[in-house]
Amino acid sequence: MTFTIYPAIDLRGGQVVRLQQGDPTRQTTYGADPAAAAKRWLDAGATWLHVVNLDGAFGEADQANLTALTAILDAAKPYQAHVQFGGGMRTLHHASRAIELGVSRVIFGTAAVENPEVVEQSLAQFGPERVAVGIDALDGLVRVRGWVEGTALDAALLAKQFAARGLRWLIFTDVARDGVGTGINLSATRSLMDASGLSVIASGGVNSVTDIHAVRDTGLPGVIVGKALYDGKIDANQLF
């Protein structure tokens, strides 16, 4: 199995930011040029980028982020790199628009919980390699709308339901660990993959190269890295 490291580019108002535990009041801004951030990771050897439209996730106006996405996609073309994109992905139209722009894989989060048929429609239209579901959980229970709202849904049960609908790719984030650098919740992530049979990309809490090696050694197919790259705790040039 190929192991993929996905540098994260989180967009808010067209800028590159990181949020601690998904909290919009705990934001760090890393730059106003998302394409430059993309090139930085691509020059280091990244083959995929993980781009998140935070404004879309929060239900806010997101035109600046869509402009930034276009710039990132243009930057990725010469490298023949791929972009997976999520945040505010609510409808088949949203997914179609992103794929027409050049996104390789769309990610459904809140919509997957509230309207699972949209995932099924997208799988039918685009195929299982181009569609992912993001499950964000706190203490095993799914959170939605940019992690602001809780639900009573069990993450593992939800993953199994999507596997039955033909899903292949799942991104799992332990909200409690995201942006705080306390390490991936490996046991929960691996358990989710074992329970569902899905290819689960780990996310939330990477703080060192050791964390990345631990994800790979656990047998997971990929990991998303954000704050540790931007803060210089991980040297991208030694990563890919």
Catalytic residues: 10, 136
Nearest Cα neighbor of 189 from 155, 146, 149, 162 is 155
β strands within 20-140, DSSP E: 27-31, 48-53, 82-86, 105-108, 131-138
Distances from the Cα of 155 to the Cα of 14, 19, 152, 158, 188, angstroms: 31, 22, 9, 5, 10
- Say how many C-beta atoms besides its own lie within 10 A of residue 218's C-beta: 15
Q: How does 79-117 read in b/e, with b if 16+ C-beta sit within 10 Å?
A: bebbbbbbbbbbebebbeebbeebbbbbbbbbbbbeebe
Identify whether the C-beta of residue 47 lies closer than 8 Å to the C-beta of residue 32.
no
Q: Is 219 left (phi over 0), alpha (psi -120 to 50) or beta?
A: left
Neighbouring CB atoms inside 10 A of 156's CB total: 19
DSSP lists the bridge partners of residue 174 as 137
Alpha carbon 145 to chain centroid, angstroms:
14
Measured CA to CA, the distance from residue 162 to residue 141 in angstroms comes to 16
